[in-house]
Amino acid sequence: MEIYLDNSSTTKVRKEVLNEIIDINENYYGNPSSIHRKGLEIEKKITQARKSVAKILNAKQEEIYFTAGGTESNNIAIYGLLGNLNDNNNIITTKIEHPSVYNIFKYFEKKVNVKYLNTDEQGKINLDELLSFVDENTSLVSIMLVNNEIGTIQDINKVVELVKSKNKKTKIHVDAIQAYGKIKIDVNKTMVDTISFSSHKIHGPKGVGGLYIRHNTKLTPSIFGGNQEKGVRPGTENTPNIVGFGKACELVYENFEEEQKKLYDLKQEYAKRLIDEIENIKINSCLNEIDGAPHILNVSFKNIRGEVLVHYLENLGIYVSTGSACSSKAKTDNRILSAINLNPDYLDGTIRISLGYFNSFDEIEYVVKSIKKSVEEIRNIMKM
Amino acid sequence: MYNIVAVSFGEIFLKGKNRGTFESKLIEKIRFALKEFKDVKVYKELGKVYIETMHEEDMENIIEKTKKVFGIVTLIPSIKIEKNEEIIIEKVMELFKYLLQKQNIKTFKIKTKRGDKKFPIRSMELSALLGEKILNEFKEVTVDIHNPDVEVEVDIKVSCYISSERIKGAGGLPLGTSGRALLLLSGGIDSPVAGYMIARRGVEIDALYFHTYPFTSERANEKVKHLKEILEDYCGKFKLYAINILEIHKAIKQHCKEEETTILARRFMMRLAEKLANEQGIEMLITGESLGQVASQTMKSMVVIENSIDMPILKPVIGMDKTEIMEIARKIGTYDTSIEPFDDCCSVFAPNHPLIKPKLESILKSEGNLDIDELIEKVYSTLEIL
């Protein structure tokens, strides 16, 4: 028995994607920069993949750049947008960003004024606070579309409207790594400058990601080399994985509504069953479809240790994750759970169930029963 | 540069009649440590042990491995050549040039030993000749026979050996010359050092590790396995046993006072270690205890803990400060692994205010609430070799 419920960490590659990756390695092993036919044939495959990736965002293929993954996309975008900073500038992000954004902003504290937006208990940013932060010197706002631990969706269109109402020149970056392929994104409606996303969160291979850069937006380069990806990300293309990523996007696109509905239904069913079966439980994720992503369900249990529960469940063939780590030296220190002001009694007992293509309704019964049994056992031991 | 290492062992000479046993044990251990290298010979000649390789490029790694073999006091990397004046001059110059690149040299001395009296040039003459060649070639250096920066030694025996550097070995006694002991290995800094120090006295070790999975992570097991691999460079291959003591912690939590948890748990660990040692024919235990470092390592705590078993316990770091233990951990390469954040015991089972002056009577009374034999049997059944 193996039930993988850690799809926000990474996902299992789909068979169709794997076949594509093998095919490229075996038959299309050329370098797209080569002028001979072997180069041309893989270049065509890459173009095809770029189209498939662009479709998820309703973007033009010329606006898509392949990178080595989400962290790299965030770095290239944020560094690139901050190329002409001066001392008077300020930049804005949230307290619940992923480290690949948060730590860049931390680094820039040495150079400029950095402001961090608070969130409410659902993880939604405060739009009034955003309005008060933006001024004529704001050069960048970076906000994640879906939070990786609790799944909260931010109203990016509203963010764009508010930011542009105060400063038309302010650039906007969106970390959409947990959102890409999971919720609808349309770059014609969401007028941001750059969007980062990753392949391995949607059943594609690891080591490849992408960056959307709006036509006319200029990035200062942070990596130097050849002219691959128009200089945004030089270096010989990771061709098999790029084509695999394209395939994963095709599969997502074909069944988007159906798959999204399945994930929401699964998530809601898990939430309902857990609340029914287990006492002293708190659902930290938004269950409605406007504020919560379909695949992330963050749950806290009073008086347990999330890490211990993870180990109990792995023994039962169930894989979930925890944002907290039990250590004798320090109590849980989780930036995101602290930001949403989670009750301290619940903080240590938090796990994240994250769903994907391979999950099904058949699993729910066993998973809920297993969580119930494990939570009871851990509570028994802890209160002895 | 070097094609041979002369190995000297200090204390072995003190062992009188046992010397032969120690030497052959040492040669066996050196051969084992160097088994990954091709075309290496380890042999005894005129009372010295030599390691000779046909591949000079391996020498640096050979020295690194040999430095970890207990019983060796000094390693002398040397150039072995035939006894021919011209070749000796050439190689001495080559070595001197190499040493100049490695360190700052202002003064030098040449020392010749002529064990083979048939060699036509006398020691003093050869030293003078070589000194002159160096002075002519390298204008920046001068001779200082009392306190030179480097001393180049030319030793004329069956062959000729040219050397200068002296490298400190691990010291101690060759493994397997003093019996076996069972190390209580946690993921911490102290216990690997304790194992190293006892092994250094020639003792072969096996190790026992206690965990509380699923209250601890499988990564904690991996961490201890990694520590074992690092120690094996010194201690040779050994067995790492693991026992899951979650049931004991559960029983203690249920039936005993919280502040007694650590003492009670340690008494169980000692019993389990003694049981395993007896079954394996091992005579002593080793712990990484350092007097007063934590609550369970006060004099009174140790008296109460050790009261649970009869087997003697070796505690090589008992009188050391934490910083001194850390220094050895860094030297032997276990430190970085020890400080990884995976604990062998979950803080759920660590009392907020552990006893530092436990009383044996009250501990025995608490143990009266537990079925000790049954608990031992129960957790002992989880024994595995990692």
φ, ψ for residue A44, nearest 5 deg: -65, -40
The minimal CB distance from B343 to the residues A314, A315, A328 is found for A328
CATH number at A15-254: 3.40.640.10
Q: Which residues of chain B have pLDDT under 50?
A: none
Q: Which residues of chain A have pLDDT under 50?
A: 325-331
The minimal CB distance from B343 to the residues A327, A382, A384 is found for A327
| Cβ pair A308:B214 closer than 8 A | yes
Give the per-residue pLDDT at A56: 97
DSSP state of A28: -
Query: Which residues, at least 6 apart from B322, have a Cβ–Cβ distance to it below 8 Å?
Result: B189, B290, B293
Amino acid at A41: E
Give the per-residue pLDDT at B223: 92
Give the per-residue pLDDT at A48: 97
For residue B342, count CB atoms less than 10 angstroms from its CB and return exposed for 0-12, middle for 13-18, buried for 19 or more.
Answer: middle
> Is B85 in contact with B176 (CB distance < 8 Å)?
no
Strands B180-184 and B284-286: parallel
> Is B286 in contact with B200 (CB distance < 8 Å)?
no
**How is residue B386 written in tokens?**
């990692």
Strands B74-81 and B4-8: antiparallel
Give the per-residue pLDDT at B353: 83
> Is A7 in contact with A297 (CB distance < 8 Å)?
no
The minimal CB distance from B341 to the residues A315, A327, A384 is found for A327
CATH homologous superfamily of A256-383 equals Aspartate Aminotransferase, domain 1 (3.90.1150.10)
Does A333 lie at the interface with B, CB-CB under 8 angstroms? no
Give the per-residue pLDDT at B136: 93
Torsion angle in degrees (nearest 10) through CA of A85, A89, A92, A98? 30
Query: What CA–CA distance (Å, rounded) separates B322 from B338?
Result: 13
DSSP state of B16: G
| Cβ pair A307:B350 closer than 8 A | no
Tell me whether the omega of the peptide bond preceding residue B214 falls within 30 degrees of 0, making it cis: yes
Amino acid at A302: K
Query: What CA–CA distance (Å, rounded) separates B322 from B189?
Result: 9
Amino acid at A57: L
For residue A209, count CB atoms less than 10 angstroms from its CB and return exposed for 0-12, middle for 13-18, buried for 19 or more.
Answer: buried
Q: Per-residue b/e over A239-272, b at no fewer than 16 CB within 10 Å?
A: bbbbbbbbbbbbbbeeeeeebbebbbebbbebbe
Q: Mind giving me the DSSP string for B49-98?
A: EEEEES-GGGHHHHHHHHTTSTT--EEEEEEEE-S-HHHHHHHHHHHHHH
For residue A109, count CB atoms less than 10 angstroms from its CB and return exposed for 0-12, middle for 13-18, buried for 19 or more.
Answer: exposed
Provide CATH 3.40.640.10 ranges for chain A: 15-254
Does A330 lie at the interface with B, CB-CB under 8 angstroms? no
Nearest Cα to Cα of residue A142 among A198, A184, A178, A192: A192
Domains and CATH numbers, chain B: 1-80 (3.30.70.1510), 83-158 (3.30.2130.30), 180-385 (3.40.50.620)
Number of other CB atoms surrounding residue A353 within 10 Å = 27
For testing contact with chain B, the best of A308, A313, A324 (most B CBs within 10 A)? A308
Provide the percentage of residues in chain A whose pLDDT is more than 70. 97
For residue B325, count CB atoms less than 10 angstroms from its CB and return exposed for 0-12, middle for 13-18, buried for 19 or more.
Answer: buried
Query: What CA–CA distance (Å, rounded) separates B216 from B224?
Result: 13
The gap from C-alpha B114 to its chain's centroid, in whole angstroms, comes to 36
Complex ipTM, two decimals?
0.78
| Cβ pair B345:A307 closer than 8 A | no
Per 3-state DSSP, chain A is made up of helix, strand and coil in percentages (nearest 5) of 40, 15, 40
Q: Which of A85, A127, A325, A326 is catalytic?
A: A326
Give the per-residue pLDDT at B344: 64
Q: How far is B287 from chain A (nearest CA, A)?
A: 21
Give the per-residue pLDDT at A327: 43
H or E element at residue B23: helix B19-33
Provide CATH 3.90.1150.10 ranges for chain A: 256-383
B344-369 pLDDT, tens digit each: 666 678 788 888 888 999 999 999 99
> Is B312 in contact with B284 (CB distance < 8 Å)?
yes
**How is residue B211 written in tokens?**
């965990």
Does A315 lie at the interface with B, CB-CB under 8 angstroms? yes
Give the per-residue pLDDT at B16: 66
A249 is catalytic: no
| Cβ pair A328:B350 closer than 8 A | yes
Amino acid at A45: K
